[in-house]
Amino acid sequence: MPELPELNPVIHGKLRLALLSLLIGVEEAEFTWLRSKTGATDGNLGAQLLKLEEAGYVSVEKKFVQRKPQTLYRMTDAGRHAFIEYVQALKQMLGGAIGS
Amino acid sequence: MTANAEEQELKDRLSLIESMIAEGRRTTGTWAWTFVFWGLAYYVAIAWTAYNQWPNAWLVTMTGAWLLCWAIIRRQQKNQTERKPGTTIGRAILSIWIAMGVSLSLLLPALGFSGRFNQHVFVAVVAAMMGFANGASGMIIRWKAQTATAIVWWAATVAACFGSDDQCTAVFLVAIFLCQIVFGIYGMVCEARMRKQRGATHA
């Protein structure tokens, strides 16, 4: 029986997984947009985004637009790669679970 | 944790990924009104030209329409509580329409000022460009209705090269009605349906 892969713990967190799933479909996203899509609190969202940033899965850009602060998040190539690997592993595990 | 609970959790993760990816893609703005807007602008220009034969009626109407369209889009963006993120597909489609707009804005006045302009060339060029932009957009987003409008524009391109001036005008008026007004209203109905279907998704 083939060995089942392990799931990446950085991505596996529910909110972090939701964030990466949102970011993979867009070029860049504002903090406020991510907050409204996930329904997370500012503190929790900021903490999870920081973990993703520390892992090198997202990059952050802070700027001012019309004198208002704007924080933009982008998925990095490493993040895209890790996310795809995670989905493949998840599907493989589910395939194994269904088959067993 | 039991094997069943673990399996359920993994399934939940997979459905979370699917729903969030779908949510991220659902960020395209509302653009169908621009088809109706530009269709009406074409009709105003045609009516103005037919009324007093002023050669700059098209130039003035199109410039006014550009400014008004830009002002409406800016106002829409200003009223949004949050900036919708751009997607690669959205940028590709917007690029096609901007490039087409710039091409027409340069070519048509240049033809007019050089004296090489005639009604058949005008309708054929506009219809070909509209066919190109609608065709490319429809193929990118795999929307058959938009690809169908491209086919109507391409048919108008060919038809504009033949027949009398009146027939050429009739072809243009029908193409505008079908591809701008009817398609635009259909698009607005689709957008309204999508907005209605969309519920809040929370992780």
Annotated domain spans of chain A? 9-93
CA dist B16 and B5 (Å) reads 16
Computed over every residue of chain A, the mean pLDDT equals: 87
pLDDT band for position B1 (cuts 50, 70, 90): low
pLDDT band for position B102 (cuts 50, 70, 90): very high
Residue A19: pLDDT above 60?
A: yes
To the nearest whole Å, the CA of B12 is away from the closest chain A CA by 10
Contacts of A88 (CB under 8 A, 6+ apart): A5
CA dist B73 and B38 (Å) reads 14
- Is the CB of residue B20 less than 8 Å from the CB of residue B162? no
What is the arithmetic mean of pLDDT over B106-110?
89
To the nearest whole Å, the CA of A60 is away from the closest chain B CA by 14
| pLDDT digits 0-9 by tens, A50-93 | 999 999 999 999 988 778 888 999 999 999 999 999 999 988 88
pTM for this model (two decimals) = 0.77
R_g of chain A, CA atoms, integer Å: 15
CA–CA distance from B182 to each of A18, B30, B32, B33, B35 (Å)?
38, 16, 10, 11, 9
User: Which carries the bigger pLDDT value, residue B80 or residue B193?
Assistant: B193
Q: Give the residue extent of every domain in chain B.
A: 30-78+88-197
Task: Spell out the CATH class of A9-93.
Answer: mainly alpha
Q: pLDDT value at position B27? A: 54
Cβ separation of B10 and A90 shorter than 8 Å? Answer: yes
| pLDDT digits 0-9 by tens, B119-166 | 899 999 999 999 999 999 999 989 999 999 999 999 999 999 998 999
Cβ separation of B23 and A22 shorter than 8 Å? Answer: yes
